[in-house]
Structure 1
């Protein structure tokens, strides 16, 4: 087996791998001998099939396996000895396309190697950490917001008409083609108008009703309604109104606090303060992280694999195009060209990504199973009743697992670098922090 270098230009590498016919034949015979004890064939006892017949029967299939294993083995050995790490999957192609059994196998291999990442003295990087302490006004603002979500309803003055935002207590009976349908009836049902809990048109039909009214609400079930026997059908709901109630903001007191799991108002204020501190710390960290990445972008320089930059620029252009064209949900659209701005951003992302990966590897940083599981659970909660299905999907999807692990790994590497940098704290106002966060979003 022979490996000959054909290209060494920057990060571009090219090699020619030759596997001789004799080497291939030896590998085939080894595989046949290994399988012989388990082979049965008519006229021969198990394990006693002559090698000549084995080769005639199974040789072509084993030959293909031997070719693949020989080339892969030569490639792996080359990478181990050279220390090269391909940026993307190497391109491999047989050069003797008229190959026949008894010929040497010659394969052309090309790839871009990952660059050597320079060492950086993190202590020379100066960073600022914004610190915001929750003030009484922020806590009171949060309390007022909670009070709105904990609102109660009180009966309106007799004869008052229901408005959007009011709660209506009523009985209803739904009919399609004059016949009541399963699940289309209830008594004493409470519905907040404008909450969109019912199908389109229903809640609008109750605006203006008064206590004691009996009305029919005409609606049409959506074509994509989950009950097929009702989808697209016209229906009539016979409604009897019992109460029309207006929303009342909850009193900010111990009773309201108990609705949110606190013992009393003081306890709720303590919970809010802790929550605000977490939110401020998270926002401040995002600002510090951007400062670190900006500093590294200026400080670090090395050659980048063109294939990675091109692929990243394409992804950036594709994502931005969809953001500008939100009505196009699929990918059946014209080819999207990359611009110099896309390429510039891609170069930054690729450089920082390779740098952080190298630092993380050298520091032996890993994402623990517990950290990964917690991240999956946090995402699963967003899927409500389908959380279990999401969890199972992640377990069966290595690509999804990598998508979840990647940002966790990056954050741990960033924390590692920040620990070695020169970090100073600066106490600022909530508004100052908000402006800094908005500046990140504008970039």
Structure 2
């Protein structure tokens, strides 16, 4: 095997690999000799089939395997001898002339093929001692705990039938039958019988519940309401509808006493213990949001610290994924780029910058993790897998089998675990200043952060190439 570098430009490398005919012949004969001891062919005793006969029967198919092994061997040699870290799998290009390939398959001619690849950039890790980040801190208030307990009490409160002839009021639970129409035609999903609805809960589309206040059992009402413009079902979004509604039952809510007995219904020894648990749960939500904000601020700081060439194929791959998501979002919402105050050209440029940022940050985090020898243990992956399985009650075995048989799926579980460990490692190198803020400040711009896609880097791996 002869390997010659033919291109070294930026992060692109190309090599020509030559296998001489005599080398192909030797490899073919070696494979056929191995096959000889295993082949069972009518008319020959095991192990006694002539190699020439095997070559006549299987020469082409065995040579195809020989060539594939030769390609793999060449790729490995190129990477090892040149100390390369690949961005993506190499691209192999064989000669375009079929006659050359045919002669190689018969081991009667040399064959040369090209190997094109992209390598990961080399860069030094930046000094982060001058980076100062704010960690937003919010302590759950008594009012927030009271509100949470109020919701729990509301969901668990008893209901009892109202007196005959008494009208429905906000907060009551009504049982209704209804048929919905758009432009006089009944629509799919617009019919229901014996449906329980708590008036004022916002369970139905805006305006529907308000028009049932004051109704009595047995009364039929025509309810007119409009589906929101961004309703999940596209064929209903923004449409005006009419509903023939009959109230079949009305129940009034009972009172719930907030005491230790109430707390025991949620597995707590006392109301005070329940309040402590709720406060801790709210605090955990606040901490998670604070972490998201801090991580975004950290990634912004890292993005400003690094500037290096990016593998074009990685950027293209990341942009394609981001762009597909953008187009799907626009389609789901029935919007155009013009509706969003931009053009496709401007949006393309913006999301390409986002893709470049994500690739850059992914490479930085990967190198930080490799340099610090950060690992994700099998036990940690198993815990993540168990958490994922719990999201699919009744399908636990299928989910378990899917991940255990799919290395790529397991890698997708491992990647975020590795990334969070690397983020923790980097945070230990910067200055953190805690800043008490309000809940509103903590959650401000959350939708914008999610929409622009900048908060997350491309997946980093704990596996060195």
TM-score (norm 1): 0.78
Q: 1:271 aligns with which of 267, 277, 283?
A: 277
Deviations 1:245-265 (A, max 9, x none): 222463322232222221221
Find the aligned partners of 1:385 and 1:163 in 2 and give their Cα distance. 40
Give 1:259's aligned residue: 265
- SS across alignment from 2:307: coil
Give 1:373's aligned residue: 382
The question of 1:289 aligning with 2:295 is answered: yes
- SS across alignment from 2:166: coil
Q: Which stretch has the larger CA shift, 145-154 or 5-14?
A: 145-154
TM-score (norm 2): 0.74
Give 1:103's aligned residue: 109
Give 1:180's aligned residue: none
**Gaps (5+ residues) in structure 1?**
171-188, 198-202, 216-238, 329-335
Give 1:321's aligned residue: 327
Cα RMSD (Å): 3.4
The question of 1:15 aligning with 2:24 is answered: no
Find the aligned partners of 2:173 and 2:400 in 1 and give their Cα distance. 37
Q: 1:434 aligns with which of 427, 443, 447?
A: 443
Aligned length: 389
Aligned 8 A contact 1:12 1:110 in 2: yes
Give 2:121's aligned residue: 115
Aligned 8 A contact 1:112 1:305 in 2: yes
Find the aligned partners of 1:137 and 1:428 in 2 and give their Cα distance. 16
Give 1:25's aligned residue: 25
- Are the structure 2 counterparts of residues 442 and 196 from structure 1 closer, same or farther at C-alpha, using a change threshold of 3 Å? closer
- SS across alignment from 1:262: coil
Q: Which stretch has the larger CA shift, 266-275 or 417-426?
A: 417-426
- SS across alignment from 1:426: strand
Give 1:415's aligned residue: 424
Find the aligned partners of 1:307 and 1:196 in 2 and give their Cα distance. 48
- SS across alignment from 1:339: helix
Find the aligned partners of 1:123 and 1:249 in 2 and give their Cα distance. 58
Find the aligned partners of 2:119 and 2:321 in 1 and give their Cα distance. 21
- Are the structure 2 counterparts of residues 46 and 141 from structure 1 closer, same or farther at C-alpha, using a change threshold of 3 Å? same
**Gaps (5+ residues) in structure 2?**
177-193, 204-208, 221-245, 335-343, 453-465
| Correspondence 1:195-214 to 2 at 5 A | 210=217
Give 1:355's aligned residue: 364
The question of 1:143 aligning with 2:152 is answered: no
- Are the structure 2 counterparts of residues 146 and 117 from structure 1 closer, same or farther at C-alpha, using a change threshold of 3 Å? farther
- SS across alignment from 2:129: helix
Find the aligned partners of 2:304 and 2:127 in 1 and give their Cα distance. 14
- Are the structure 2 counterparts of residues 137 and 79 from structure 1 closer, same or farther at C-alpha, using a change threshold of 3 Å? same
Q: Which stretch has the larger CA shift, 319-328 or 74-83?
A: 319-328
Q: 2:349 aligns with which of 331, 340, 343?
A: 340
Aligned 8 A contact 2:385 2:413 in 1: yes
Deviations 1:372-422 (A, max 9, x none): 233333334443444543343333333332322222221111111112222
Deviations 1:258-291 (A, max 9, x none): 2222122101001011112211111111111011
| Correspondence 1:225-240 to 2 at 5 A | none
